[in-house]
Amino acid sequence: MLKTMRKNVKSLAPVLWIVIATFVIAIFAVWGGAGRLGETNRTNTIAQIGSKRITADEYFQVLRQRIEAMRKQYPDLNSTLLRQLNMPQQILEQMVQQNLLLEIAREIGLKATDEELRQKIMSFPVFQREGKFVGFNEYKQILDWNHIPIQKFEDSLREEILLTKVTQLLTAGIAVTQDEVWENYKNQNETAKIEYLVASVEKVQLPANPDEAEARNYFEKNKAKYRMPERREGKYVFLKTDDLKKEITVSDSEIEKYYKENINQFKEPAKTRVSRIYLPYTETDKKQVLDQAQSLKNRLSSGEDFGNLAKTHSKDDKAKNGGDWGYYDWQSLAAEEVQAINKLEPGQISEVVDLGNAAVILKVTEKMPEITRSLAEVKAVIQNALIEQKARNKASDRMEKLAKIAKKARSLEQAARREGLNVQDSGLLKNGDPLAGVDSSGAFSQTLFQLKEKEISSPVFTYEGVGLIQLIRIDPEHQATFEEVKTQVVEDLIKERKKELTKEKLSSLKYGQATNWEDFAKNNNLEYKRVEAHKRGQYLSLIDDTKEIDRLAFSLPLNQTSEPFEVSDGYAVVRVLERKEVSREDFEKVKADEMAKALNQAQETFLFSYLQKVRQDKKIKVNYDLFVKITDDVLGRIAE
């Protein structure tokens, strides 16, 4: 995942500093929840890690740039999918993790020296010519072309050096054994050609459903597995943000002030569109290809169409589009090509560029300067953002006031009546249950499980608004009565009887009654699947847990039918048709690479776990209102 992210950012991002600021660990963290900062910092700080602040503008820029990079690779990406993937939460979490690492580095006295910075700068091919540094003037010119301040670029490099150092220090004691790597290598490289049948309970019809006596008898025999989890009930008051918006007004002066203070949000960077003709060569045909390239350059100088010649002669995957590399993809080209492009004006065509293994001709088809969207263009967007922010702040302020009154009176209901607000009953909720129309994430029920009886919560923030809840009743975990779980008992009994029938049907295969499983499946209402190269742990449709099928795939004699084994939806059997195994000799050829790969994975796993523990020790606060506002602002510009 990390390598893919780095590759995508390097090839797609329009400015170099994004490349430098890539994170050193892969993060798949669950979002850490809400919270409010102090009033003085709330408007411009989105997260606080100890004394370090992540500003709203920093989050805005990283979120926007990451999404732009992803959309260049996946044009169909939309805001709905980004929300489903929790991309905004992951990006902010990455920023928090990076700041935690930098904080650790500073606490233990790590520094990035000037010499280390110099070596880092010189490691970039774009700053080299014939293996030597291009010199300060050209170095500055390259950064200026990409609209990157030198100080910002070098600060980013120093941070990357520190991140590398602290990561190496924290993971220095991590090791993997050869036996562990050998087992992992087998798991990744051994394959089995298999076919399997699944008899699903959904396709089984019982002659009759069990009656109540049978269900009671089943319940008594399996009583231990039927327990009611602890549930809690609360009284709550909730203010929806949307309901408050009609009370909000935003003046033109407020819109103008927001525009001026957040002008960077409305800037679109300069863009250059490039086309290329690419002619690869070998030592054998080098002169012939260079002559062909020069001939094409002469034809272009005479007025022939670049796109038509690229379609006919170019040898890269952009040829079919007339050699068009778009506004950003060309920045992943060789340093010589990028330098040649940066010297061209719109409509100009380069001389033939010899890359050592190919000849290229480049054309700048379009250059768009950096633009700032006018206030008139973005007025509606700003107005909606300010209304949302004011509504959330108003709801938050009212809930904080209500919380003070309620805690003093020790009654949310009494305080709500005084403030003219409605109190509702949550009903009995399990930990994490949603609250319909108010909280789809389960934040209210989770809060209930953190309260003592009669205790009133602090404001609880959800996507829909903000509220308070008071715990009024605890229903402790207990052995369920038949009446409490009757529906579930009947469902379980029906499923068990259906499973027995599916097992009987598949057992007939054990005695060789069917050689063609596909036909047998059609005739017996079964599901049939064939996998040409199954690996351990590989996802299989119809099979939820592959542990048993993995064991059988690499132990069962070829062409022998397994005993029926249970899956979530019924029973299955498997047959192994072929098997590809690896030997120690195979492993020895790649052992060094496999050991390095396994070590890197172990280090990343340790680092992630270590940082999760550090998070608990640091006072990390997130301005949830501001996070939602900025996220909605950025995602709102993306078509569904």
Judge whether 284 and 271 are in contact, CB under 8 Å: no
Lowest pLDDT segment from 11-20, 92-101, 146-155, 439-448? 11-20
Beta strands in 14-67 (DSSP E): 45-49, 52-55
Tell me the mean pLDDT in the region 274-284: 93
More confident residue, 130 or 489: 489
| CATH number, domain 191-229+482-580, options 1.10.260, 3.40.50, 1.10.1740, 3.10.50 | 3.10.50
231-262+375-476: in CATH 3.40.50? no
Q: Considering only CA atoms, which of 631, 636, 630, 623 is closest in space to residue 96?
A: 623
Judge whether 121 and 127 are in contact, CB under 8 Å: yes
Instruction: Quickly count: other Cβ atoms within 10 Å of residue 298's Cβ.
Output: 10
> Above 90 in pLDDT, residue 222?
yes
Tell me the mean pLDDT in the region 589-603: 90
Q: Are strands 358-368 and 128-129 parallel, antiparallel or unpaired?
A: unpaired
What CATH code would you report for 271-368?
A: 3.10.50.40
Lowest pLDDT segment from 72-86, 140-154, 258-272? 72-86
Give the integer Cα–Cα distance in Å for 293 and 301: 12
- Highest-confidence segment of 59-68, 261-270, 335-344: 335-344
Backbone angles phi, psi at 180, to 5 degrees: -60, -45
Helix (H) or strand (E) holding 567: strand 565-567
**pTM to 2 decimals?**
0.47
Residue 599 amino acid letter: L
Tell me the mean pLDDT in the region 300-314: 93
Judge whether 639 and 56 are in contact, CB under 8 Å: no
User: Which residues of the chain form CATH 1.10.4030.10?
Assistant: 2-174+600-635
Per-residue DSSP letters for 355-371?
A: -SSEEEEEEEEEEE--E
What Rg value do the Cα atoms of the chain yield, rounded?
32
Tell me the mean pLDDT in the region 578-593: 91
Burial of 24 (0-12, 13-18, 19+ CB in 10 A): middle
Per residue in 390-410, pLDDT tens?
998 899 899 999 999 999 999
Tokens describing residue 513: 């009654």
pLDDT of the residue at 9: 31
Give the integer Cα–Cα distance in Å for 616 and 609: 11
Q: Which long-range contacts (CB under 8 A, 24 or more apart) does 430-439 make?
A: 430/229, 430/230, 430/231, 431/229, 431/230, 431/232, 435/236, 437/464, 438/236, 438/238, 438/240, 438/462, 438/464, 438/465, 438/467, 439/464
Backbone angles phi, psi at 152, to 5 degrees: -65, -40
Per-residue DSSP letters for 160-183?
A: HHHHHHHHHHHTTT----HHHHHH
Tell me the mean pLDDT in the region 560-584: 90
3-state helix, strand, coil in the chain (%, to 5): 50, 20, 30
Query: How many residues are listed for the chain in this entry?
Result: 640
Helix count and strand count (H, E) for the chain: 23, 20
Give the integer Cα–Cα distance in Å for 73 and 316: 17
User: Which residues of the chain form CATH 3.10.50.40?
Assistant: 271-368
Give the integer Cα–Cα distance in Å for 506 and 501: 9
What CATH code would you report for 2-174+600-635?
A: 1.10.4030.10
Burial of 202 (0-12, 13-18, 19+ CB in 10 A): exposed
Q: Residue with structure tokens 């207990």?
A: 478
Give the integer Cα–Cα distance in Å for 505 and 199: 8
Burial of 476 (0-12, 13-18, 19+ CB in 10 A): exposed
Tokens describing residue 12: 């797609």
pLDDT of the residue at 43: 53
- Beginning with the edge strand found earlier in the chain, give each strand of the sheet holding 620-622 in spatial order: 52-55, 45-49, 620-622
Give the integer Cα–Cα distance in Å for 63 and 88: 7
> Above 90 in pLDDT, residue 230?
yes
Lowest pLDDT segment from 18-27, 164-173, 387-396? 18-27
